[in-house]
């Protein structure tokens, strides 16, 4: 199969970009031709993929536009700067679409595959498959539900800016979805929301992201993060939908019942930095540590050194940290609208409503299970990861979707990498 691809790809970036790298590498291993088109300063040449003879990187960079932006940068402020950046991005998308169409005319592709983004463009006669990061508008729906706290912490002005932004995103999403013959999302929960957005059910598929099962694996030799205490970990960005408020309220309840616990929060505040006040005013600071980031190379050992990974998010398509925790043999606590929970089996402790008491009960259950049978729980977590997140299993299903969409010929024999 000849695949033209537009994707977020970086081997060691984590999250969606790393998953996409694994997907492309597996497609190449199976003999597919993959041409990756990208804005060259956004998705750089992936050296680990270039060694495959059936891979081609097509980077586009309109240097004149960047030079013009830099010349006028002192005059660009706030929303104007964002508009200029968006315009430059759209000019690059148009240039990429033009180059891809030219190559399609001389050596036709079978499919245009978008990974990690919606269908940014289409080429006449070329079927489109897009693997979305999440269903449209669920982020805004969560913001709207949680607006009272958002306004209290960050002001009414931010709320209305987000309203305008997501109204625009809704229009863009409808255009992008209309270009697709097949749409993939990270969970069945997300699939239902894409269908509710108006896409025919037969065009929407749910697939988990793959993960490097060798990089993320159990290692009992890694010492505990906080000796003498059970460590709960929050790893990921912080915005209203992620429910830092719920996490801290539930943890405070847990501390009323046992003091041998510690919460570590690692993640940057995004568009609502005022939420930092929730950490600054936490009543038990000796049981809480916060850091804005951690080096990607340190994440596997971080996961191995904690007891439970907690992700109390609302409307979560797929939480990479949850999946990586399972790979490392760690149990997870997730909420009722977290799609990742579908892949966790008995290694997930799910609370049924977004209330501090419910989350606290799930935390207690996870800790009690660890203390009763730590090796059994770790084994169940790892087994679920191997069943769900092995790139070979994921690409088996991706190939079936591509074949169904484009009527491709049987897969060719694998090509060995060079170098």
Mean pLDDT of the chain: 92
* 15-29 helix and 320-327 helix, angle to the nearest 10 degrees: 60
pLDDT band (50, 70, 90) for residue 409: very low
Share of the chain above pLDDT 70, in %: 95
- Please check whether residue 223 is in contact with residue 305, taking contact to mean a CB–CB distance below 8 angstroms: yes
- Please check whether residue 298 is in contact with residue 14, taking contact to mean a CB–CB distance below 8 angstroms: no
Share of the chain above pLDDT 90, in %: 85
pLDDT digits 0-9 by tens, 244-263 = 999 999 999 999 999 999 99
pLDDT for the residue 87: 86
pLDDT band (50, 70, 90) for residue 76: low
pLDDT for the residue 79: 62
Correct CATH for 230-388 of 3.40.50.10490, 3.40.50.720, 3.40.50.620, 3.40.50.2000: 3.40.50.2000
Burial 27-58 (b: 16+ CB within 10 A, else e): bbbbebbbbbbbbbeebeebeebeebebbbbb
Asked whether the predicted pLDDT for residue 189 surpasses 70, the reply is: yes
3-state secondary structure of 344: coil
pLDDT for the residue 368: 95
pLDDT digits 0-9 by tens, 329-368 = 999 999 999 999 999 999 999 999 999 999 999 999 999 9
pLDDT band (50, 70, 90) for residue 84: confident
pLDDT, mean of residues 47-57 = 95
**pTM attached to this predicted model:** 0.92
Q: How big is the chain by its Cα radius of gyration, in Å? A: 22
pLDDT, mean of residues 77-99 = 84
pLDDT for the residue 67: 79
Q: What region, left, alpha or beta, does residue 2 occupy, with left being phi > 0 and alpha being psi -120 to 50 degrees? A: beta
First-to-last C-alpha distance (Å) of the chain: 23
pLDDT for the residue 137: 84
pLDDT, mean of residues 104-123 = 95
Which segment of 72-86, 138-152, 302-316 scores lowest on mean pLDDT?
72-86
Asked whether the predicted pLDDT for residue 412 surpasses 50, the reply is: no
Superfamily of domain 2-210+391-406: Glycogen Phosphorylase B; (3.40.50.2000)
pLDDT band (50, 70, 90) for residue 411: very low
pLDDT band (50, 70, 90) for residue 3: very high
pLDDT digits 0-9 by tens, 215-244 = 999 999 999 999 999 999 999 999 999 999
Residue 110 φ then ψ, to 5°: -90, -30
pLDDT for the residue 54: 97
pLDDT band (50, 70, 90) for residue 78: low
Asked whether the predicted pLDDT for residue 408 surpasses 50, the reply is: no
List the one residue out of 257, 355, 344, 266 whose CA is nearest residue 312.
355
Give ranges for CATH 3.40.50.2000 in the chain. Answer: 2-210+391-406, 230-388
């Amino acid at each position: 199969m000849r695949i033209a691809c537009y994707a977020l790809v970086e081997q060691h970036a984590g999250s969606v970009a790393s998953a996409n790298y694994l997907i492309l590498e597996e497609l190449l291993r199976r003999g597919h031709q993959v041409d990756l088109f990208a804005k060259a300063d956004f998705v750089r040449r992936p050296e680990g993929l270039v060694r495959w003879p059936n891979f081609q990187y097509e980077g586009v960079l309109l240097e004149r536009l960047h030079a013009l932006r830099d010349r006028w940068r002192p005059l660009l402020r706030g929303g104007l700067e964002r508009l200029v950046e968006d315009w430059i991005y759209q000019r690059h998308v148009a240039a990429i679409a033009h180059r891809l169409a030219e190559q399609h005319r001389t050596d036709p592709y079978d499919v245009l595959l978008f990974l990690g983004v919606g269908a940014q463009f289409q080429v006449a006669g070329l079927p489109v498959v897009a693997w979305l990061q999440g269903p449209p508008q669920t982020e805004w729906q969560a913001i709207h539900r949680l607006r009272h706290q958002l306004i209290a912490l960050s002001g009414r002005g931010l709320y209305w800016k987000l309203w305008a932004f997501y109204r625009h995103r809704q229009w863009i999403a409808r255009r992008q979805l209309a270009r697709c013959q097949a749409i993939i999302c990270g969970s069945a929960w997300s699939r239902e929301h894409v269908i509710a957005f108006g896409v025919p059910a037969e065009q929407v598929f749910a697939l988990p992201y793959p993960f490097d099962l060798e990089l993320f694996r159990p290692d009992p030799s890694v010492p505990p993060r906080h000796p003498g205490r059970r460590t709960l970990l929050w790893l990921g960005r912080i915005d209203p939908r992620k429910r830092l408020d719920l996490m801290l309220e539930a943890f405070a309840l847990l501390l009323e019942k046992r003091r041998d616990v510690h919460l570590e929060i690692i993640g940057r505040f995004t568009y609502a930095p005022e939420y930092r006040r929730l950490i600054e005013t936490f009543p038990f600071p000796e049981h809480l540590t916060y850091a804005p980031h951690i080096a990607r190379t340190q994440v596997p050992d971080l996961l191995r050194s904690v007891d439970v990974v907690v992700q109390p998010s609302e409307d979560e398509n797929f939480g990479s940290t949850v999946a990586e925790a399972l790979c490392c043999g760690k149990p997870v606590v997730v909420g009722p609208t977290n799609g990742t929970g579908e892949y966790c089996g008995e290694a997930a402790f799910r609370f049924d409503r977004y209330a501090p008491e419910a989350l606290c009960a799930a935390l207690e259950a996870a800790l009690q299970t660890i203390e009763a049978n730590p090796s059994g729980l770790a084994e169940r977590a790892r087994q679920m990861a191997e069943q769900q997140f092995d790139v070979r299993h994921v690409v088996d299903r991706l190939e079936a979707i591509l074949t169904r969409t484009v009527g491709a010929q049987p897969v060719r024999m694998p090509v060995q990498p060079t170098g």
